[in-house]
Amino acid sequence: MSSSNPQHKLHVMFFPFMAYGHMIPTLDMAKLLSSRGAKSTIITTPLNSKILKKPIDVFKNLNPNLDIDIEIFDFPCVELGLPEGCENVDFFTSNTNVDGNYMAFKFFISTSFFKDQLEVLLKKTRPNCLIADMFFPWATEAAEKSHVPRLVFHGTGYFSLCAGYCIKVHKPQNKVALSCEPFVIPELPGDIVITQEQIIDGDNESEMGKFMIDVRESELKSSGVVVNSFYELEPDYADFYKRFVAKRAWHIGPLSVINRGFEEKAERGKKASIDEAECLKWLDSKKQDSVVYISFGSVACFKNKQLREIALGLESSGTSFIWVVRENTDDKDEWLEEGFEERVKERGMIIRGWAPQVLILEHQATGGFVTHCGWNSLLEGVAAGLPMVTWPIGAEQFYNEKLVTQVLRTGVSVGATKHVKAMEDDIISREKVEKAVREVLVGVEAEERRKRAKKLAEMAKAAVEEGGSSFNDLNSFIKDNSHKLHVMFFPIMAHGHMIPTLDMAKLFSSRGAKSTILTTPLNAKILQKPIDTFKNLNPSLQIEIQILDFPCVQLGLPEGCENADFFTLTNNSDDRRAMISKFFLATRFFKDQLENLLEIRRPDCLIADMFFPWATEAAEKFHVPRLVFHGTGYFSLCASYCIRVHNPQKRVATSSEPFVIPDLPGNIVITQGQILDRGEDTEMGKFMTEVLESEAKSSGVVVNSFYELEPDYADFYKSSVAKRAWHIGPLSVHNRGFEEKAERGKKASIDEAECLKWLDSKKPDSVVYISFGSVANIKNEQLIEIAAGLEASDTSFIWVVRKNGDNTGDKEEWLPEGFEERVKGRGMIIRGWAPQVLILDHQATGVFVTHCGWNSLLEGVAAGLPMVTWPVGAEQFYNEILVTQVLRTGVSVGSNKHAIMGDFISRENVEKAVKEVLAGEEAEEMRSRAKKLAEMAKAAVEEGGSSFNDLSSFIEEFSS
């Protein structure tokens, strides 16, 4: 499986620590990702790039269409206090003239010099992810600045990572009397026995100890871990690691098997110190499984005394061998007993320097591997099907030995009991060397070990083939880290816009996109709870909040005025209008912040509220498509367009004279008093002109609607009004469970469960639900009429009354005396915020008295409810006409003008409308049509539905 989208090829950046044991598997990993369709970039220094270039050239010659390259970073050694040319660990581990311990620490610390260069590169290239070595703890923070996921590569397997974790957590080494006293590693599967001398127990107070703390903390903040292993090798430890240690991990090994041909295998690491063909020719002359291969990796240095013991042990064993001895600056072979090479001439080969290890291990003549248990060597031995003599030297190698000897049972220990640095004059004797070599090659147990080793080799090869465990985990990695459509959402700070925007962000996230919602600190608190609920239900989906600053007082607004809810609490209409105008204009303060964010994050598109006209220009600067979200449907958008173009309201004598809206399908009748006319010369009128101009320059419109609800108007809008539009609603239906529905908007002013329990006591379709949305302020006189009308109707009801400047006190002047007592049992008043979708969806709810705000109207449609329409302002009269004249699923209460003009509805009208929708002559027909629309609404969002398909088109277009 390759990266899915050619325009968005997965780009993985690799940054290995400058040591062969880290660079070699990283190169293999880069080749593997490249072979699966990704673009691979390896970051390294000038001298190390020369080491990597040859094998990369070989790979590219064999695979000319694959994408892999090197990015060179500056590493001024001398300026950093290192010797000239010290760009690789090999420099100080093979140079006896330097203090290795001091140089190692200095080298590790100096790599932080790369941080600034990495930040610049990530900002410029924006890879899908960065796989950086564990020894680069600063890489997590650097990647985070450009919102690039940083993955950690340790270069070891699950077993040692789990063992290290358990020892770090439980500190069992502190509970033994002697450093050589064995103990079982707590919690680690398999009752693994080890000693204090064999573990890595760094001093947290030392400089290197503090550095390793940084390493661990950095890993915790990273996006996961990539492991060079395969599941079948260490299943219990893979499971343990993913469950207890790392949040996310992918095993994609053994990486060495990506090298298939002679040339690729020969070019791994440094240039071999022997002619590879001659080496293989020598092996060809030996019997199958007869040769022991001895190598202690690219870092370990033995003292001469130990080398002599190895030589004599090999000689005494009588076996054929290839022994790799690392080069150092001392040319004299003082470690070699005189005449040794002559005596073993026919059966022994010494390679001084670098060996073509994989070629040797895979040769049929090789029958055993004496290894230091470095993870690369161990995995290469496993892939070659070889039993091993384990001789750990340092780092995590004693853990790896335990895996081989205690878990896999494919090797025998030579008898090393502590790290080489701690051994001082202690050595492994020639007798132990001879015994271990013989034991691994010959005998009944040797055959059993060999069988287990061969079986593991088969598993290793199967793991990387199609359908294998590592192949599949790599598929998951590619899928998880491939380009995801990143949509940024920016709603105006009002519940009527924030709620559908959150639903929209959740919808996009559920379809595989990454969703980012921009908002202010106080509004973030409102959104966080439902987002947390969604993420708990869908832990793999990506949705987040980005907080922008909104200094209210500095902008001339009251402290805490971050939401339209703030100024709708006042009943003084003049104050409210002034505050609304100031609030809308103050949102321009976001523009610079938005531009900075778009420059850093580079989302695929920005869906910004209609009331942010400056967002189009901000997005255009960074070539990010800006889509407009109005928060209403096609009908009202088309109606307002036709009125704006033709101005029919200017051709009538009175504000109450009805007229047909020109051009609009359906011969729709309206009056001047019902349309929204802010006046072009007012401050708000000029602002709305900007809104329209901004929309004309945008990349299109996203509509919370579904085609079957308003097909003529969807067609008209797309052909005559907006260049491009996608309908993806109704958005509210994506909240499936109780918790999601309950948490939409503010915290309910009633216990949701109690409310539903009350509804459970009522007959189906018997309850009237009355709510006027999150903005409308109804005067006390009108509230009294509503109360009286509901009482006279003799129906069960739930009535939501918003708290405002008039009704926040203890004395409720809007409520007729004794009202609640008289309607007790059949009426419920919710003072504040109601769990609306839960109520509308309940089978007892039969009618919805609504202000015709688009969110409420759509929620009523999705619930299959007939409606009593009572528009209050904004585009709500258009929405009423859709319900009453087009869909014919509701009746009007009789409101003829915007609430701010003082329209008044009598109790008789309230009673009449409620009764008409519940039990009138046309009630059943209305209910039948409403139920049918609810079925269409649900079908629209399911796979193959009109909204599902329009969303698919949107995702496809903006992903490419």
Buried b (16+ CB within 10 A) or exposed e, 76-93: ebeeeebeeebbbbbbbb
pLDDT tens column, 16-57: 999 999 999 999 999 999 999 999 999 999 999 999 999 999
Q: Average pLDDT over the chain, rounded to whole?
A: 91
* Phi and psi, residue 835, nearest 5°: -80, 75
Q: Which of 11, 28, 90, 133 is catalytic?
A: 133
Task: Kindly report whether the peptide bond that precedes residue 55 is cis, defined as omega within 30 degrees of 0.
Answer: no
pLDDT at 368 over 50: yes
| Secondary structure of residue 671 in the 3-state scheme | strand
pLDDT at 299 over 90: no
pLDDT at 892 over 60: yes
**pLDDT given for residue 742 in this prediction:** 86
Give pTM, 2 decimals. 0.75
Tokens of 400: 């790896």
SS (H, E, C) 413-472: ECCCCCCHHHHCCCCCCHHHHHHHHHHHHCCHHHHHHHHHHHHHHHHHHHHHCCCCHHHH
What CA–CA distance (Å, rounded) separates 652 from 606?
41
pLDDT at 534 over 60: yes
**pLDDT given for residue 811 in this prediction:** 59
**pLDDT given for residue 581 in this prediction:** 85
**pLDDT given for residue 206 in this prediction:** 77
pLDDT tens column, 327-348: 654 445 678 888 898 999 889 9
Q: What is the DSSP string of 321-380?
A: EEEEE---S--S-TTSPTTHHHHTTTTEEEEES---HHHHHHSTTEEEEEE---HHHHHH
Higher pLDDT, 676 or 918: 918
**pLDDT given for residue 902 in this prediction:** 53
**pLDDT given for residue 3 in this prediction:** 40
Query: 924-928 long-range contacts, Cβ below 8 Å, gap at least 24?
Result: 925/888, 926/866, 926/888, 926/889, 926/890, 926/891, 927/765, 927/846, 927/864, 927/866
Angle at 936 between CA 930 and CA 938, to 5 degrees: 105
pLDDT at 417 over 80: yes
What CA–CA distance (Å, rounded) separates 876 from 886?
15
pLDDT at 934 over 80: yes
In the chain, the amino acid numbered 586 is: A
pLDDT at 610 over 50: yes
**pLDDT > 90 fraction of the chain, expressed in percent and rounded:** 76
pLDDT at 5 over 70: no
Place 207 in a pLDDT band, splitting at 50, 70 and 90: confident
Q: What is the DSSP string of 138-205?
A: HHHHHHHHTTPPEEEE-SS-HHHHHHHHHHHHH-GGGG-SSTT--EEPTT-TT--EE-GGGS----TT
pLDDT tens column, 479-500: 888 888 999 999 999 999 999 9
Q: Which of 22, 154, 251, 483 is catalytic?
A: 22
Nearest to 671 by CA among 684, 699, 652: 652
What CA–CA distance (Å, rounded) separates 516 from 490?
9
pLDDT at 7 over 80: no
SS (H, E, C) 772-835: CCCCCCCCHHHHHHHHHHHHHHCCEEEEEECCCCCCCCCCCCCCCCCHHHHCCCCEEEEECCCC
| Measured CA distances, 941 to 499, 510, 730, 875, 953 (Å) | 18, 12, 8, 25, 14
Place 571 in a pLDDT band, splitting at 50, 70 and 90: low
CATH of domain 6-161+207-255: 3.40.50.2000
> Could you name the CATH architecture of 748-941?
3-Layer(aba) Sandwich (3.40)
What CA–CA distance (Å, rounded) separates 493 from 480?
32
| Measured CA distances, 404 to 196, 399, 413 (Å) | 19, 9, 9
552-556, 746-750, 908-912 — which is least confidently predicted? 746-750
Domain limits, the chain = 6-161+207-255, 267-467, 748-941
pLDDT tens column, 643-661: 999 999 999 999 889 999 9
Q: Quick one: CA torsion of 376, 228, 117, 247, rounded to 10 degrees? A: -140
**pLDDT > 70 fraction of the chain, expressed in percent and rounded:** 94
Altogether, the residues listed in the chain come to a count of 960
Tokens of 337: 């007993």
Residue entry with tokens 């990530």: 122
pLDDT at 471 over 50: yes
**pLDDT given for residue 1 in this prediction:** 38
CB 950 within 8 A of CB 726: yes
| Measured CA distances, 349 to 262, 352, 355, 388, 392 (Å) | 21, 10, 11, 19, 23
| Secondary structure of residue 875 in the 3-state scheme | coil
In the chain the first and final C-alpha atoms are separated, in Å, by: 19
Domains 267-467 and 748-941 share a fold: yes
Q: What is the DSSP string of 205-249?
A: TSHHHHHHHHHHHHHHHSS-EEES--GGGSHHHHHHIIIII-S-E
**pLDDT given for residue 420 in this prediction:** 74
pLDDT tens column, 661-687: 999 999 999 999 888 776 677 788 888
What CA–CA distance (Å, rounded) separates 639 from 630?
14
Pairing of strands 796-801, 701-703: unpaired
> Could you name the CATH architecture of 267-467?
3-Layer(aba) Sandwich (3.40)
Is 22 annotated in the active site? yes
What CA–CA distance (Å, rounded) separates 820 from 14?
70
In the chain, the amino acid numbered 848 is: F
Nearest to 599 by CA among 617, 624, 616: 624
Instruction: Supply the Cα-derived Rg of the chain in whole angstroms.
Output: 37
* Contacts (Cβ under 8 Å, ≥6 apart) of 595: 618, 621, 622
What CA–CA distance (Å, rounded) separates 567 from 717?
33
Mean pLDDT along residues 803-812 = 56
Higher pLDDT, 681 or 263: 263
